[in-house]
Amino acid sequence: MTGLAERALDKCIASADPVRIEPGRYTTILEPQAVSDLATLLTGAESRAMWRHYAEGTGQSPFVLGVDRSISRVRSKLGLKVLDERITISHDPSDPELGTVPDPYVAPITWIEHGVLKTLEYQRWDTLLQLNENSPTKARGSYRMSGGSTTLEEMIASTQRGLIVTRFSSVSMIDNSSVLATGLTRDGVWLVENGKISKAVRNFRFTESPLFAFNNIEQLGVPVPVYQPFAHPDLVIFSPRYAVQQVIVPPMKVNDFSFTSTIDAV
């Protein structure tokens, strides 16, 4: 905890006088919290991306393959590669590092395995009809994402020119069919030049899809636990109705991440 506090203080001092640089597409090093803010657009409790109803029913999902007119049915991308092959996203209710309360109706599940879409979310009647199982296949807010072994220092050293992003905030969906979203950088953005951090820069608005970012990965780090806030439908007495879940994600370096404007937010 002391190390975390020291790092947070160092970031505050380093970003005290940020400069403005032009928006555009940058090689971007995403710290774990930023990765979680993007990945939750796919796996979070509020996301439609993993619902079979949208992927094979209404067609309003990034995982729609197309209409099979021979059977008048929308087919999903189940069994097809949708992300970088190094990415696996799973949930295990008994995973001690996730710290979730085991749910008797939720079994261990892998949504994406080595980049391939393996499972969509089913309601109970769907699992009976489609999977011949007597329990629903439900999306959970907590999850584990696979990673690699590259350190943040190595990512920085191998970057000719790019940005480091600590986290995102005010993330909102623009288009469900592509998971295109927009939001703001927060808690520190730095410019990397010639393998070194050169200066703090002003915050940006991003407009990007995690499907694009997670298909343009250059390097992956070791997954670590982070906390992700989410809107909880049961917390009706609170306003805003937010809870916190733990996820395990790696830092990553991605190419051509889109920053569309600069902002003056802290």
pLDDT of 227 reads: 83
CB atoms within 10 A of CB 97: 13
pLDDT of 237 reads: 47
pLDDT of 25 reads: 97
Residue 225 to residue 156: CA distance in whole angstroms: 21
List the structure tokens of 99: 């710290």
pLDDT of 235 reads: 46
pLDDT of 5 reads: 59
For 205-260, how does the pLDDT look when each residue is reduced to its tens digit (9 = 90+)?
999 999 999 999 999 999 999 987 765 545 444 445 556 778 999 999 999 999 99
CB atoms within 10 A of CB 228: 20
**Rounded to the nearest 5°, which phi and psi values hold at 215?**
-110, 5
pLDDT of 140 reads: 58
pLDDT of 228 reads: 77
The residue ranges of every structural domain in the chain are 18-39+148-262, 43-145
pLDDT along the chain (266 residues), means of 10: 57 73 96 94 74 69 76 79 95 80 72 91 67 62 90 95 95 89 93 93 95 96 86 49 78 97 79
CB atoms within 10 A of CB 249: 29
Give the DSSP H or E segment for 13. helix 2-14
**Strands (DSSP E) along 106-150, which ranges?**
109-113, 116-117, 144-145
Task: State the pTM of this model.
Answer: 0.85
pLDDT of 86 reads: 96
pLDDT of 127 reads: 65
List the structure tokens of 170: 């005010």
**Strands (DSSP E) along 1-127, which ranges?**
24-30, 64-68, 73-76, 89-91, 109-113, 116-117
pLDDT of 130 reads: 63
